[in-house]
Amino acid sequence: MNKKVDYDLSESALYPILAAFRVCIEHTNTNDYMQWRVSFNKVKEIWRSSAKKMLSEIHEVYESSNYNVRAIGITKDAWLSCYMIVDRELRKIQNI
């Protein structure tokens, strides 16, 4: 989002966060393509409204695994929590 930070996010945390946005993609019948369900600007809104919640969930998984970074990427709780957060934000935008 064009901002620099003084810390790194491990790949273990990044994967469930990025994968959560798969809920924002749909399959089209036209040429078997994939497309965003909403405009990309809306996807960025979803990111802005869900990033803090997802990072909080990731941190909880990290703490509950005795600070094992690797556990974040292999624990279904992190993946499911991130997915549900993004899904909830998408539904708000779509008014479902």
Has residue 5 got a pLDDT over 70? no
Question: Contact 82/54 with Cβ under 8 angstroms?
Answer: yes
Contact 28, 35 (CB under 8 A): yes
The whole-number pLDDT of residue 2 equals 64
Q: Which residues of the chain form beta strands (DSSP E)?
A: 25-27, 34-36
pLDDT given for residue 60 in this prediction: 93
Cα 90 from Cα 45, distance rounded (Å) = 9
Q: What is the pLDDT of residues 27-43, one digit of tens each?
A: 988 888 999 999 999 99
Annotated domain spans of the chain:
11-94
